[in-house]
Amino acid sequence: MAISIDIREDAGVRTLHFGSDWVQGAMRIARPWNLELEYTREMMASLLLRDTPRKVLLIGLGAASLTKFLYRNYPQAHLTVVEIEPSVVAAARQFFKLPEDPKRLHLVIGDGAEFVLNSNKKFDLILVDGFDEKARTGALETLPFYQACRTRMSDDGMMAVNMLTRSRGFKATAARIAEAFDDRALVFPSCESGNAVALAAGGTPLEVSFEGLKENALKLKEATGLNLLPTLTRLAQAKTCLNNTLVL
């Protein structure tokens, strides 16, 4: 059964809904390339650790916020987007300025978990943000899926996953990510929206001081307009990183 697509606008912000008040994506009409929602900004935290991904896999299109940000700011990157609902792709094109560029942007209509399990491609960055109209993620929160993501990552690849703290399985999902990546994973403090982003890394061990992260955040802000300094402040306040150093 096809989902119900609902587009709303309020105070200059256009939002995507699947037949409920639950926001599946947002775009400030005056700044369509910016990341409007806090959790989408935090999904880009890997850029503070390993910049300039060349091959990116995005699972779940939504309002195309992450896709557009990477498309605009990383012109050398090739983006593969897997979206299970054709109507979401149509809405992203019609209402959220999804670019048409088959050379740099490969759109796949299909199941994200099946794509990862059956693919033989390697990606520098994997972004997982797939929910249905009832905020369920299905196979996208299973251990075999996360293990397959790790297999599909390039030598120094990274993965970011959007999770909901109000979900009963939140802690179990975070534990599965940690297991798949041999504990090389970090869950950021929850956003006001109740979203929490998990970051996982493969390849060379990462150890970056908060000073180094702040320096990288300032460079990223200058280059792309994306401000991750508030994220670093929340991370420091949560005291989840020993000795003010992020280790992955």
For residue 242, tell me if it sits in a domain.
no
- pLDDT 10s digits, 89-99: 999 999 999 99
CA 93 to chain centroid, in Å, comes to 19
| Rounded average pLDDT over 184-208 | 90
Q: What is the pTM of this model?
A: 0.95
CATH number at residue 183: 3.40.50.150
pLDDT at residue 160 in the model: 97
β-sheet bridge partners, residue 125: 56, 158
Question: What's the pLDDT at 133?
Answer: 52
In a domain, 8, yes or no: no
Structure confidence at residue 226 (pLDDT):
97
Query: Which residues are tagged catalytic?
Result: 129
- Average of per-residue pLDDT values in the chain: 92
Domain residues for the domain of 125 are: 32-205
Q: Is residue 220 part of a domain?
A: no
Lowest mean pLDDT among 102-111, 145-154, 184-193: 184-193
Q: At what angle do helices 65-73 and 210-224 cross, to 10 degrees?
A: 80
| Number of structural domains the chain divides into | 1
H-helix or E-strand spanning residue 146 = helix 143-151
Residue 220, φ and ψ in degrees, nearest 5: -65, -40
Is the pLDDT score of 169 beyond 80? no
200 or 189, higher pLDDT: 200
How many whole angstroms separate alpha carbon 170 and alpha carbon 181? 17
> Longest Cα pair distance anywhere in the chain, in angstroms?
51
Taking only the tens place, the pLDDT of each residue in 111-165 is: 999 999 999 999 999 999 976 555 566 778 899 999 999 999 999 999 999 988 7
